[in-house]
């Protein structure tokens, strides 16, 4: 585990601030499917907050509740995803995968996209990640930059 530097701490604080007003949704899953996988992911997301959820719940790419989260739930939990990426070396790929997924950028405002983008750049600048060597990071940065270029309310 790397020790977060001041720039990374600042970036994390800015992300928390940008998402401070996002309410905790009542329901978390994207659809109404009642299969056991959907029900378990719904239960996991519903039994945590963005302050309590961690790698135990989110760290397995093959069993990832965020893949099943609604856009509202994604926006609510995104500060937790950023926190996991910034404070452990185990979550960055998953964060970038989610940020690069089609439609997810529409769930966040430009201000929020700017804060998340700054957090990714803070990791690049702290040599926690080599953007040229991690296609997922490059894709996530491109998706966030596209969100910043889009008019408010018309995310990619």
Whole-angstrom distance, CA of residue 148 vs CA of residue 112:
9
- Closer to Zn ion by CB, 19 or 68: give it: 68
Site for Zn ion in 14-33 (CB under 5 A): 33
Q: How far is the CB of 32 from Zn ion (least distance, A)?
A: 9
- Closer to Zn ion by CB, 33 or 90: give it: 33
Whole-angstrom distance, CA of residue 49 vs CA of residue 137:
26
Q: How far is the CB of 132 from Zn ion (least distance, A)?
A: 38
Task: For residue 149, state whether it binds Zn ion (rule: CB under 5 A).
Answer: no
Q: How far is the CB of 69 from Zn ion (least distance, A)?
A: 13
- Closer to Zn ion by CB, 65 or 155: give it: 65
CA-based angle 102:38:91, to the nearest 5? 55
Q: Which helix (H) or strand (E) holds 9?
A: helix 6-18
Whole-angstrom distance, CA of residue 116 vs CA of residue 121:
9
Whole-angstrom distance, CA of residue 80 vs CA of residue 95:
10
- Closer to Zn ion by CB, 33 or 55: give it: 33
Q: How far is the CB of 37 from Zn ion (least distance, A)?
A: 5
- Closer to Zn ion by CB, 69 or 95: give it: 69
Q: How far is the CB of 123 from Zn ion (least distance, A)?
A: 33
Give Cα separations from 61 to 45, 64, 156 (angstroms): 15, 5, 24
Of 35, 130, 132, 152, which lies in the binding site for Zn ion, with binding defined by CB under 5 A?
35
Long-range (24+ apart) CB contacts under 8 A made by 57-60 are 58/84, 58/91, 58/94, 59/84, 59/90, 59/91, 59/94
Task: For residue 38, state whether it binds Zn ion (rule: CB under 5 A).
Answer: yes
Give contact residues for Zn ion (rule: CB under 5 A). Answer: 33, 35, 38
């Amino acid at each position: 585990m790397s020790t977060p530097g001041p720039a990374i701490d600042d970036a994390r604080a800015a992300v928390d601030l940008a998402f401070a007003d996002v309410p905790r949704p009542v329901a978390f899953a994207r659809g109404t499917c009642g299969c056991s996988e959907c029900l378990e992911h719904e239960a996991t997301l519903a039994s945590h907050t963005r302050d309590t959820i961690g790698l135990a719940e989110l760290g397995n790419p093959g069993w990832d509740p965020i893949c099943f989260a609604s856009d509202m739930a994604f926006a609510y939990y995104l500060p937790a995803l950023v926190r996991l990426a910034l404070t452990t070396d185990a979550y960055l790929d998953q964060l970038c995968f989610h940020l690069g997924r089609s439609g997810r950028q529409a769930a966040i405002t430009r201000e929020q996209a700017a804060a998340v983008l700054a957090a990714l750049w803070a990791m690049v600048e702290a040599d926690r990640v080599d953007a040229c060597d991690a296609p997922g990071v490059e894709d996530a940065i491109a998706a966030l930059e596209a969100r910043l270029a889009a008019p408010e309310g018309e995310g990619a």
